[in-house]
Amino acid sequence: MRKFVPDDSDSNINIYSNWKPGLRVLVNGGAGFLGSHLSERLLQAGHEVICLDDFSTGRLTNIEHLMSNSRLTVMEHDVRHPYDLDVSIIFNFASPASPPDYQRDPVGTLLTNVIGALNVLELARRTGATVVQSSTSEVYGDPHINPQPESYFGNVNPIGPRACYDEGKRSAETLFFDYHRSFGVDIKVGRIFNTYGPRMRRDDGRVVSNFIVQALQNQDITIYGDGKQTRSFCYVDDLIEGFLRFAVKSPDCCGPINIGNPAEIPVRQLADIVIAMTNSKSRVVHLPAAVDDPQQRRPDISRARQELKWQPRVNLERGLEKTIRYFDALLSSEKVVEAV
């Protein structure tokens, strides 16, 4: 198997294209929202992609347009169980990521993140592969400082209903850095902030998909809490570009690095924007606040700018326009199926 050789050139926007085509790349969670976009970009660059997914939250429809590509292999597997593949680079994106999904099976979520991290690190240790971990802004919990730099240790409730995900990702980071220090595994840890775009599930429970689907159907837009809590939304193409840039950096660049959009907006303002962009007749209703819901979420991306020469390029309105178009088409197709 050809050894992955990083290229630290910073001049090319699509820096990952400096990899020589033909690398064998494993994408855990490759049929999920983010994993499918990542798999698509890797195939476009001429690489061989193994899409590994247990399809608990990932969907074949996310990758069906890629299935005719002979360089794509789809493998149904649960990362909590060991596996052995000969690959040059691994992207570990396998985990439920929305609160309804990860709270549905909290024990399974924790094990997916911890045992899944252990198994992927053991694979990287055996093969010498570079392994890129999708961590999360949830490691910061309900932060006491804003924006959140990578040096901030966070404010996480370890026994709350969100802890299965928050602490699962924090524990995974511990494993990644211990494997790096103890065994020399080449790791990259990126902390993902709220990301949105096409291929989100309409029922995944995240705020952007909830608001858009509700607005398109003229239903009440539901906000948990007073709506003053803030989020920073990164369009999926920008997020994937950040991870691809990170992956090609030399082994001494291992993170953690925040990858997200620093443009902060109150949730209530997002609802008003979506209503206006969809010409919806929806009204906003408030429900009780979710337990341990962070009141602020904004990344400090100084490290990403400096080390990856990366920053988001798609503004919120443009990203929402693309996402609304996707959900409008999805809902329209569902109506056609129901009518048949």
Check 16, 140, 165, 196 and give the catalytic one.
165
3-class SS letters over 264-309: EEEHHHHHHHHHHHHCCCCCEEEECCCCCCCCCCCECCHHHHHHHC
Burial of 95 (C-beta count, 10 Å sphere; 0-12/13-18/19+): buried
Beta strand residue intervals within 54-186, DSSP E: 72-76, 89-92, 130-136
Contact 209, 202 (CB under 8 A): yes
Provide CB contacts within 8 A for 336, sequence distance 6+. Answer: none
Tell me: cis bond preceding 251? Omega within 30 of 0 counts: no
Token pair, residue 280, equals 């919806």
Q: Does residue 179 have an active-site annotation?
A: no
CA distance 95 to 80: 11
Token pair, residue 153, equals 């240790």
DSSP letter at 3?
A: P
Token pair, residue 124, equals 């990287």
Contact 289, 225 (CB under 8 A): yes
Catalytic sites, residue numbers: 165
